[in-house]
């Protein structure tokens, strides 16, 4: 029976220390959250700028619902594409300095749709080994010769590209690696792409809104434009605190995706009120640049504090600050211990990260107070799993 077979499989997952479970949140996102009738300090959200519950974003969502209702009613190509979606696309294009932008319902769907639209049989997709699951799945779905290169290793990529024969080559990378927090070497990757006639696609889910003077993301951080990164993906559910994703690039790219990206064509458009709320978030990126400054100040303070405690950090200038533990059970035990002390930090295990690299994935947000950070550092100093 299905039930028995699955129970046996679940038992194996649990034995390996890999069982995933959900915790039921009782409050909006914020530096403190409610869980099981307790107030916890939240160090695991991707709401880096603390915009998810910002009063102006919430108000824009409310007004959007009054104007547009709850659902969009159809896909973009049928009758679900509203003035709210269209205005957001135009603002995202202008914000990223690209000709056009195209909204997708989620980042996962954007990545599946873009990769499988741009590359097909006879082509080749080259991906960083640590790319997000949605990019790897997009590569598999494309049915191309799909190859992974060593993490952030441009010479390893160049060796593979040198053997590329026929068809189009598409290079795909995270801008900020979601479980490590480090940046892809976008300048050298763009140069490699240019030299070999390959196309470069960057998924900036964790850089967009956070990096660069204006929050333009890893492209702005490295001073790269649309010639260097012709296919730019950003998500709207992380630093922008809303929901959805977009692809930005030249008009031909967008027109082509509208014809060919199946995860764009065959799905219901985002609720227009969500597009309206996201427009307000985008405005706040410009008006409240102190959020980015505060976040980067916290990142520096956290790293300095952790280093003085001898806690090993990974090289990350982003709000993603993982603490590597290696063993799955140790990572889970550290997460549980911290939870008991009032700190919510997620333990990340394989297959999300490579075998033997289980970790605490700690994230910071602009709304964390100095006292929150001090309390966190004090707890990390005492955590038994983190003692050398």
Beta carbon nearer to ligand PLP, 201 or 379 = 201
Binding region for ligand PLP (CB under 6 A) out of 107-115, 223-231, 341-349, 368-376: 107-115
Beta carbon nearer to ligand PLP, 206 or 349 = 206
CB half-sphere exposure, 313, CA atoms < 13 A: 23
Binding region for ligand PLP (CB under 6 A) out of 102-110, 183-191, 321-329, 343-351: 102-110
132 touches ligand PLP (CB under 6 A): yes
Angle between helices 370-382 and 290-308 (to 10 degrees): 20
Binding region for ligand PLP (CB under 6 A) out of 5-13, 47-55, 203-211, 308-316: 203-211
203 touches ligand PLP (CB under 6 A): yes
Choice from 106, 321, 357, 365 touching ligand PLP (CB under 6 A): 106
Binding region for ligand PLP (CB under 6 A) out of 69-77, 104-112, 217-225, 370-378: 104-112
Give the whole-angstrom CA distance, residue 136 versus residue 115: 10
Burial class (CB in 10 A: 0-12, 13-18, 19+), 170: buried
Site string for ligand PLP, 153-182 (x = CB under 6 A): ---------------------x---x----
Verify cis geometry, omega within 30 degrees of 0, for the bond prior to 351: yes
Q: By rule CB under 6 A, what count of residues binds ligand PLP?
A: 14
Give the whole-angstrom CA distance, residue 331 versus residue 323: 9
Beta carbon nearer to ligand PLP, 178 or 278 = 178
CB–CB of 70/271 below 8 Å?
Answer: yes
CB–CB of 63/197 below 8 Å?
Answer: no
Binding region for ligand PLP (CB under 6 A) out of 6-14, 103-111, 250-258, 368-376: 103-111
* Residue 289 a catalytic site member: no
**What would you report as the CA-atom Rg of the chain, rounded to the nearest whole angstrom?**
21
Q: Across-strand partners of 149?
A: 128
361 touches ligand PLP (CB under 6 A): no
237 touches ligand PLP (CB under 6 A): yes
Beta carbon nearer to ligand PLP, 127 or 203 = 203
234 touches ligand PLP (CB under 6 A): no
241 touches ligand PLP (CB under 6 A): no
* Residue 12 a catalytic site member: no
**Cα separation of the two ends of the chain:** 47
Catalytic-role residue among 72, 178, 218, 281: 178
Please give the residue whose beta carbon sits closest to ligand PLP in the complex: 107
206 touches ligand PLP (CB under 6 A): yes
Minimum Å gap between C-beta 108 and ligand PLP is 4
269 touches ligand PLP (CB under 6 A): no
Q: Which of 236, 238, 256, 237 is nearest to 246 (CA)?
A: 236
- Token representation of residue 266: 């065959």
Choice from 45, 134, 281, 328 touching ligand PLP (CB under 6 A): 134
Specify the residue for token string 């533990």.
Answer: 325
* Residue 178 a catalytic site member: yes
107 touches ligand PLP (CB under 6 A): yes
Minimum Å gap between C-beta 203 and ligand PLP is 5
Choice from 198, 200, 210, 245 touching ligand PLP (CB under 6 A): 245
Minimum Å gap between C-beta 89 and ligand PLP is 16
Minimum Å gap between C-beta 333 and ligand PLP is 26
Active site residues per annotation:
178, 206, 238
Q: Where on the chain is the footprint of ligand PLP (CB under 6 A)?
A: 106-108, 111, 132, 134, 174, 178, 203, 205-206, 235, 237, 245
């Amino acid at each position: 029976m299905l039930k028995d077979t699955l129970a046996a499989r679940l038992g194996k997952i649990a034995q390996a220390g890999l069982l995933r479970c959900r915790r039921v949140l009782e409050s909006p996102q914020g530096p403190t959250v409610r869980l099981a009738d307790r107030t916890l300090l939240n160090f695991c959200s991707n709401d880096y700028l603390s915009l998810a519950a910002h009063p102006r974003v919430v108000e824009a969502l409310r007004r959007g619902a009054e104007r547009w209702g709850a659902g969009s009613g159809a896909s973009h190509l049928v009758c679900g594409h509203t003035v709210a979606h269209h205005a957001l696309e135009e603002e995202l294009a202008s914000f990223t300095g690209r000709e056009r932008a195209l909204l997708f319902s989620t980042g996962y769907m954007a990545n599946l749709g873009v990769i499988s639209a741009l590359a097909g049989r006879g082509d080749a997709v080259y991906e960083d080994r640590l790319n997000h699951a949605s990019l790897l799945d997009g590569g598999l779905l494309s049915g191309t010769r799909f190859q992974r290169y060593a993490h952030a290793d441009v010479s390893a990529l160049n060796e593979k590209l040198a053997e590329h024969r026929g068809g189009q080559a598409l290079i795909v990378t995270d801008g900020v690696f979601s479980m490590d927090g480090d940046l892809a070497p976008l300048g050298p990757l763009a140069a490699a792409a240019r030299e070999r006639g390959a196309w470069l696609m960057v998924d900036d889910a964790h850089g967009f809104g956070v990096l660069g003077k204006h929050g333009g993301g890893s492209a702005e951080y490295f001073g790269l434009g649309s010639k260097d990164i012709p296919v730019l993906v950003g998500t709207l559910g992380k630093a922008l605190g809303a929901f959805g994703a977009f692809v930005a690039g030249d008009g031909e790219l967008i027109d082509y995706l509208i014809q060919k990206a199946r995860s764009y064509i065959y799905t219901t458009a985002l609720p227009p009120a969500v597009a309206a709320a996201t427009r307000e978030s985008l405005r706040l990126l410009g008006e409240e640049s102190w959020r980015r400054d505060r976040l980067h100040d916290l990142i520096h303070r956290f790293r300095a504090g952790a280093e003085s405690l001898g806690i090993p950090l990974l090289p990350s200038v982003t709000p993603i600050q993982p603490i590597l533990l290696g063993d799955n059970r140790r990572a889970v035990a550290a997460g549980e211990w911290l939870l008991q002390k009032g700190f919510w930090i997620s333990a990340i295990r394989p297959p999300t990260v490579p075998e033997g690299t289980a970790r605490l994935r700690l994230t910071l947000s602009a709304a964390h107070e100095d006292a929150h950070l001090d309390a966190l550092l004090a707890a990390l100093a005492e955590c038994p799993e983190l003692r050398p």
